[in-house]
């Protein structure tokens, strides 16, 4: 039986999120390599400054009312995004890329509680089951080396996971009565991160930003992160978050650590313990359970926003 067009749109958004998970999974290894050439805050300023330049036409051509709406949603969510990337990038610089990719998945467990408190939406039975499976997988991953193995970088990634859960729910809440162009929203969020990290970098270093690096690998990494992991990924996420419930968004993004571990093994030659792979498998299984299951069982309830 053919699904309604609205339901098909939701499924397309879900598969877009899986592509985002692959892109962001690769970003930990790429970013870890890039920050060996340039300070974290300066790197974030470059990355998101370039992203803003690429996406700014989508914002500038909006009507004045639409611009105000984009700013109303993009500025506060952009501040949360700034905090996320500061924690993530400083964190990945101080821990393994595979560990960072796995730890960030704890946002899957946190999101339902944030969603319940902010949006007053109780997760469905299917989603609660998937969250439970993801939680078990996350425990296998994060406790693999014992509590004594958790360092500063791991704590920063855990903070980023909490902020990710807040970001998804806050964006949903902010766009509930303010439909915004996803690309324009990406532009404003990028501007917020770029300016915030630039100011932070100047204040942190005191004498100003460091000279730009000349290494080609740094710029190749930066271009990849800008085009694939930022412009495409944020656009896809901003589309999906207005079509899909926040808990479902986080569950689909829960496949990210597995892709992150694969890239860490291939790109950085990191060794990932078997227990971590087992936990990652549970994460993927829960995400596929949410994505594929509804197609067989029929359309799910209408999302909060069109």
Overall pTM surpassing 0.85 (yes/no): no
CA distance 129 to 127: 5
Domain boundaries, the chain: 20-296
pLDDT value, residue 101: 81
Cα–Cα distance, 139 to 168 (Å, whole number): 22
Residue appearing with tokens 């690429």: 54
Residue 199 neighbours by CB distance under 10 Å: 12
pLDDT of 177 > 60? The answer is yes
CA pair distance 66, 191, nearest whole angstrom: 17
Structure token digits, residue 218 = 């740094």
Q: What is the pLDDT of residue 50?
A: 94
| Nearest alpha carbon to residue 52 among 176, 166, 192, 207 | 192
Give me the pLDDT at residue 85, please.
93
40 phi and psi, to 5 degrees?
A: -55, -50
In angstroms, rounded to a whole number, what is the distance separating the alpha carbons of residues 68 and 70? 5
Name the band, by pLDDT with cuts 50, 70 and 90, for residue 192: very high
Least confident of 85-89, 129-133, 140-144, 252-256: 140-144
User: Over the stretch 40-51, which tens digit does the pLDDT of each residue have?
Assistant: 999 999 999 999
Tell me what pLDDT residue 129 has. 83
Rounded mean pLDDT, 160-176 = 84
Q: Residue 80's pLDDT is what?
A: 94
User: How many whole angstroms separate alpha carbon 263 and alpha carbon 268?
Assistant: 8
Stretch 94-99: mean pLDDT, rounded? 82
The least confident of 55-69, 146-160, 189-203, 280-294 is 280-294
CB atoms within 10 A of CB 159: 17
Give the integer Cα–Cα distance in Å for 271 and 159: 24
- Mean pLDDT across the stretch 268-288? 78
pLDDT for the residue numbered 225: 93
The arithmetic mean of pLDDT across residues 52-59, rounded, is: 92
pLDDT for the residue numbered 305? 31
Look at 89-93, 119-123, 261-265, 293-297 and tell me which has the smallest mean pLDDT: 293-297
Residue 207 clears pLDDT 70, i.e. is over it: no
């Amino acid at each position: 039986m053919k699904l309604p067009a609205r339901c098909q749109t939701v499924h397309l958004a879900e598969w877009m999120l899986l592509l985002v998970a692959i892109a962001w999974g690769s970003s930990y290894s790429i970013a870890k390599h890039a920050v060996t050439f340039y300070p974290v805050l300066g790197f974030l300023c470059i990355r998101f400054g370039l992203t803003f330049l690429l996406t700014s036409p989508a914002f500038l051509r909006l009507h004045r009312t639409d611009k105000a709406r984009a700013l109303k949603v993009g500025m506060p969510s952009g501040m949360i995004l700034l905090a996320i990337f500061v924690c993530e990038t400083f964190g990945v610089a101080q821990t393994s890329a595979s560990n960072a990719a796995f730890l960030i998945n704890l946002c899957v467990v946190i999101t339902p509680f944030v969603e319940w408190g902010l949006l007053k939406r109780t997760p469905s039975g299917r989603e609660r089951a998937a969250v439970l499976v993801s939680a078990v997988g996350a425990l296998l991953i994060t406790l693999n080396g014992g509590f004594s193995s958790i360092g500063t970088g791991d704590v920063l990634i855990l903070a980023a996971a909490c902020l990710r859960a807040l970001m998804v729910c806050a964006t949903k809440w902010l766009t509930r009565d303010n439909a915004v162009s996803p690309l324009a929203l990406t532009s404003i969020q990028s501007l917020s991160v770029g300016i915030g990290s630039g100011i932070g970098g100047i204040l942190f270093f005191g004498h100003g930003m460091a000279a730009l690096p000349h290494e080609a690998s740094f710029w190749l990494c930066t271009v990849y992160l800008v085009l694939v992991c930022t412009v495409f990924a944020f656009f896809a996420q901003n589309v999906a978050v207005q079509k899909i419930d926040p808990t479902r968004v986080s569950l689909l993004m829960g496949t990210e650590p597995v892709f992150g571990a694969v890239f860490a093994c291939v790109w950085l030659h990191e060794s990932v313990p078997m227990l971590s792979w087992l936990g990652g498998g549970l994460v993927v299984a829960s995400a596929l359970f949410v994505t594929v299951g509804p197609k067989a069982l029929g359309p799910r309830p209408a999302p909060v926003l069109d």
